[in-house]
């Protein structure tokens, strides 16, 4: 392929721009905030599951406490009635009175048992409520951190995207100066190796950093200025300059 030496030299400017674009894109993909955001979002999902479980536990225990209290009501009412009957003196038959007193003792024991159950349930409810409140607080703190991370990410992305836009416009300007076939060759090589052109500096390819052999140097020297040379090692377009050592 032939292309004017000035056009070939412009490939170095294009490569410099493409390198800068690649670096910007890499920075865009590898912002520290991105990993922290992903981690924070995973924590948020786990906290959401924990909150559902905590709310369910609190709700179930509230129902259990309410049921325990409801179970106590008829027993207490029965005890009050029995005591009133005893205190009123309405029961005069000794056998009936003893039965009534035995029932009162039984009701007292039953109330103690039910109150113990209720107390245990209330303690469990208090603990479950504390667990839920801790999850809510941690989630709120995490949400604040996530919002801060998202804001920091968006701010940096805005700067990087503006730089990419500027570099893209700069690239378009340089690319417009180049012959179509030379640009297509450059782009094909760049798609495979990451860069399409490299300067020959002191007999060494700046792309692969390998020094040209004597046979290659002889061929480079003999090539006319408009001949497009390729590095024998990395296949990049090789740009000759005053620093090439030819």
pLDDT in tens, 183-210: 999 999 999 988 999 999 999 999 999 9
Q: Residue 53: is its pLDDT beyond 90?
A: yes
Distance in angstroms (rounded) separating the CA atoms of residues 208 and 149: 39
CA distances from 222 to 159, 217, 227 (A): 47, 9, 10
How much of the chain exceeds pLDDT 70, in percent? 100
- 156 pLDDT above the threshold of 90: yes
Q: With H, G, I as helix, E, B as strand and everything else as coil, classify residue 229.
A: strand
Say which DSSP state 1 is in.
Answer: -
The pLDDT value given to residue 246? 78
> Which tokens in the block code for residue 78?
């029965």
The pLDDT of residue 29 is 95
pLDDT band at 92 (very low <50, low <70, confident <90, very high): confident
Rounded percentage of the chain residues whose pLDDT exceeds 90: 91
Torsional sign, CA 45, 50, 55, 59 = positive
Alpha-carbon distance 206 to 200, whole Å? 6
Residues near 239 by Cβ (< 8 Å), separated by ≥ 6? 8, 9, 11, 12, 197, 198, 199, 200
pLDDT band at 91 (very low <50, low <70, confident <90, very high): confident
Angstrom distances, CA of residue 239 to CA of 8, 130, 132: 6, 71, 68
Residue 141 has pLDDT above 90, yes or no: yes
Report the pLDDT averaged over residues 85-110: 91
Could you give the domains of the chain?
Answer: 5-25+179-240 (no CATH), 31-167 (1.10.287)
Say if residue 240's pLDDT is above 90.
Answer: yes
Quote the pLDDT of residue 4.
Answer: 95
Contact (CB, 8 A) for 159 and 170: no
CA distance linking residue 223 with residue 212, whole number of Å = 15
Specify the pLDDT at position 237: 96
Indicate the pLDDT class of residue 245, thresholds 50, 70 and 90: confident
Residue 111: which of 72, 64, 68 has the closest Cα? Answer: 72
Q: Which residue has the higher pLDDT, 62 or 97?
A: 62
Q: What is the pLDDT of residue 15?
A: 96
Q: Is the pLDDT of residue 14 over 90?
A: yes
Q: How confident is the model at residue 219 (pLDDT cuts 50, 70, 90)?
A: very high
Mean pLDDT score, 50-56: 97
For the cut 90, the answer to whether the pLDDT of residue 72 exceeds it is yes
């Amino acid at each position: 392929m032939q292309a004017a030496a000035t056009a070939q030299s412009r490939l170095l400017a294009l490569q410099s721009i493409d390198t800068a674009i690649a670096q910007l894109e890499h920075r865009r993909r590898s912002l520290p905030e991105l990993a922290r955001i992903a981690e924070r979002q995973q924590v948020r999902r786990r906290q959401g599951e924990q909150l559902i479980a905590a709310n369910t536990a609190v709700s179930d225990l509230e129902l259990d406490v309410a049921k325990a209290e409801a179970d106590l009501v008829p027993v207490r009412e029965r005890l009050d009635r029995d005591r009133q009957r005893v205190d009123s003196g309405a029961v005069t038959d000794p056998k009936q009175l003893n039965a009534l007193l035995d029932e009162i003792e039984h009701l007292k024991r039953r109330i103690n048992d039910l109150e113990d159950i209720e107390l245990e349930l209330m303690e469990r409810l208090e603990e479950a409520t504390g667990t839920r409140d801790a999850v809510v607080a941690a989630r709120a703190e995490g949400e604040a951190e996530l919002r801060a991370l998202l804001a920091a990410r968006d701010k940096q992305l805005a700067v990087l995207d503006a730089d990419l836009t500027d570099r893209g416009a700069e690239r378009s300007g340089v690319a417009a100066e180049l012959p179509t076939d030379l640009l297509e060759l450059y782009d094909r090589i760049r798609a495979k190796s990451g860069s399409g052109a490299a300067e020959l500096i002191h007999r060494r390819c700046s792309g692969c950093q390998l020094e040209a052999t004597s046979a290659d140097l002889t061929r480079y020297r003999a090539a006319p200025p408009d001949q497009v040379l390729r590095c024998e090692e990395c296949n990049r377009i090789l740009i000759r300059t005053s620093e090439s050592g030819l």
